[in-house]
Structures are given as structure tokens and as C-alpha cells.
Structure 1
């Protein structure tokens, strides 16, 4: 690593951060890395696209509060993020009964969530009641997989309940199956991440009165070679 860093003209520490995903290189340095590794045209195109996308995400999330592993594990339950979003709506009422009714949970659950979020410094009580301490919240890249699985499991369950109980005019649940080139899966996932952020930006502009969740599932229907029954990702 020291020799490679020397050839690139950067410190070993910075190279270590780049390899670990903690530092996004600029286009010039990315070009030097590509040249040093003698990458072909396809790999070069992919790396340049990833760097551009990460720089864009970095700009969009500038100033966002990043949760560490322990914090995310503590608030992985769906109600925590739902309440944080509810606080940002324009018609928010800082009343436990009102919050419980809006989120369709018990008042005891609301009290527990408020206590947990207050203890973690994610909300505070101001002159007009509860309010968020951070407008945007993100997670680190090394969240425990068990916490991620639990969070997404709850989201999928909620989507199923919406399919059965919510008027079609107030929700959108669709699916499509297609023959797939696995070599393009990484690119597809990049497009999904970009789409997710564009939708969030669109819906957060204007008069925000409700809290919505966007679930996007891209999963194999066939038995993909190399996968195993019961595997978790």
C-alpha cells in the first residue's frame, strides 16, 4: 500500500481511506489510479461513474447527521424513523395522543420512542414542543446486518399491510419480472439509489402533511448460481 500510495503521489493514510470507502477521490486522482492499475474501458467507465455518483451523494448529504452502529441498532424499529419524519410535517402537533393516532401506534409506544430519540440527541423539546435536532439523518456503511434486516423486514410488512388496507389512489405498489444480465446488476442498483433520492427530494418540497415510505425491491426470482437457501445480505 505504501508503494502504491507513493506512485499515486498521496499518503498511505489517504489511500487506506479511499480503499475503505471513507474518502472519495477526485477525477484526477481517479484517473491516476485507473492508469496505475491498467484497467480496461469497461472498468474505467464503471469506476468513473461510481466516483461521480458518490461525489453527488456526498454533496447532497453534506451536513447530514450520521448515525453510528449503536445508534442505528437502538432505533432500527420503524416507528422511530416514522416519528422523526412526522416531526417535520407542517401540521405537526406536539401531543402524544395526536402522534399515536397519526402513526397508528399506542401512546405507550410514542412515549418510548420520544424517550429513546431524546436520549440519543435526535430530538429535543423547544418552546413549541418536540422538534428534530437534525433535518437529515444518514447511516454509516458498517451498520450491523441484523439491524438492517430487521428494519427492512418491518418495512416490507408495512407495505403488505398497505396493499391490503390502503386505497390504491393513496399508494403505488407495482412489480415487473424480466430476464436479467447479472453483469449489469451493480449499475441497476446505482440507478435505484439515484431514483430513491430524486423521489425523496420531489416529495419533501411543498406542503408536507403526511409521512410516506418508499420500498423498492429488486430480487432474484430464479435460483441464482452461487446463492444459498437462507442466505442473508
Structure 2
């Protein structure tokens, strides 16, 4: 089954991986049914149905039985555990954050919408279009258009003290292809290039490493990057907030897969 069929399910990514491996098992044994799968996992057929349709997560004991019954290798077991822990982490965070949809990013694709949102949480914020424009090096017309769209989308509200964010934290989808998110990240990468040329090293940090790598471990590094972003967010929000920063962690291959050059 394609990922798009699971994308809206609560635990779609985990279900996608289990179904891929289950299909390999069925290729070897076409008579291997969900009831047989439930028997091997020592759980009820309804529980298995919920797992493979993305409505429930397997617990630690069921995970071990999954690895045995589906003959998962070490890398597949690690990736399954990664997806489950990431899903649980995201579900925990989502209780505190409002998740933006693909439609939201399509309506608000430019970086400055989110910069304006965060500027509203700084100590010296003024609900003045000219001041906002100056702080973010934007045209006043761009700021006005952004404020109108943020109001229409429900991400900000008018209060007696001026504009204010509707939600404390925002989050996006993860590991699901999105053209709107690609455009958004492309803008932030280019803003990083601008900062590299413009800003002194004491207020920015753009570094990199080039190393021989095992692509099968990339998902582990992504997990570390996710944890780093969470810790960076908690650290940067301590004390008096006067500026708006973008924290971008870039992990990408410099080599082309399947070639020797």
C-alpha cells in the first residue's frame, strides 16, 4: 500500500512499514492471512487490524514478536523502533502545538509569515506595520498582506494590546513529501546564505562536516536533529526574547546513489 493511503491515519508511517514487510511475507506464502499474523503475534485479529491500518501502535512485546514473525533484520527493527518513538514524541508535542496542514503552507508559503508570528512574542513587539517592516527588512505592503492572511487563517488575533499569536507553538508534518514545505525550507536555506555573507560570526553559526557515511544510519541522525531542535527551542526561549532566529539543521548527501563518481 502506498504511503498516501496512510498519511491521514494517526500512526500511518508505522503502518506503512509493517505493511511493506508483511507483503514480502505474503509473496513467499500467499496464504499468510491477517488471522495467521495475529496468531503469530499472540494478539487478537482486531488488534492486528488496527496496527496495519495505522489506528494503533504495537507495544514493546508485540514489536519483538513482529521482528520474529516477519524476519526483520537489525536495520529494519531499528527503523521500526525509530518510527514508533518519533510518532509518540510527535503525538506528545502535538498536545501542546497546533499542526499546520499542507493547505496552511500553500496559503502561507513565505518565510516572513512565521517570522512575523514569532516577532509578536518578543518583548519589544509593536503592532505597527512600519516597525515590523523595518525589523524584518520587508516592504510595509508585504507586512500588511501577511497580517491579513494570518488573521484570515486564524493564526493571529486582534487584542486590545494589538496583534497576538493564536497558538503558543506550531508544528508541521514530518517525513511526508510536501511541495509547500520544500518551498518553505528552500527560502530558509537561502536566508542562511544571506546571513553567511551579511552577519558577523558572533550572532550566527553556519558550519558543516563532510564524512564518509552509511545511508542506513541517516534516520538515526534525523532523530538526533529532531531532539536538538527541541532542546534548541527550549534554550533560546529562556530569558528576554528580543530577536527572531531560524535554526536550520541540514543533512544531505553530496554523492549520487548508485554511481562511483
Instruction: Give the TM-score normalised by the residue count of structure 1.
Output: 0.84
2:109 paired residue number: 76
2:25 paired residue number: none
Q: CA deviation at 1:143?
A: 6.5
Q: CA RMSD in A?
A: 2.3
Contact 2:156-2:166 at 8 Å conserved across structures: yes
Q: Report how many residues are paired.
A: 222
The 4+ residue runs of structure 1 with deviation greater than 6 A are none
2:35 paired residue number: 3
Q: Does 1:15 align with 2:52?
A: yes
Does 45-54 or 200-209 show the bigger shift?
45-54
3-state SS, counterpart of residue 30 of structure 1: helix
3-state SS, counterpart of residue 177 of structure 1: coil
Q: CA deviation at 1:13?
A: 4.2
1:190 paired residue number: 223
1:154 paired residue number: 187
Contact 2:111-2:184 at 8 Å conserved across structures: yes
**Partner Cα distance (1:80, 1:4) in 2:** 52
**Partner Cα distance (1:104, 1:167) in 2:** 18
2:246 to 200, 207, 213: 213
**Partner Cα distance (2:106, 2:62) in 1:** 36
Contact 1:64-1:137 at 8 Å conserved across structures: yes
2:80 to 28, 47, 50: 47
Runs of 5+ consecutive residues of structure 1 not aligned to the other structure:
227-233
1:97 to 122, 130, 135: 130
Q: CA deviation at 1:25?
A: 4.1
Q: Does 1:130 align with 2:173?
A: no
Higher relative contact order (CA 8 A, sep 6+): 1
2:93 to 38, 60, 76: 60
Q: CA deviation at 1:24?
A: 4.3
Instruction: Give the TM-score normalised by the residue count of structure 2.
Output: 0.76
3-state SS, counterpart of residue 197 of structure 2: helix
2:17 paired residue number: none
3-state SS, counterpart of residue 92 of structure 1: coil
Point out the structure with max Rg over C-alpha. 2
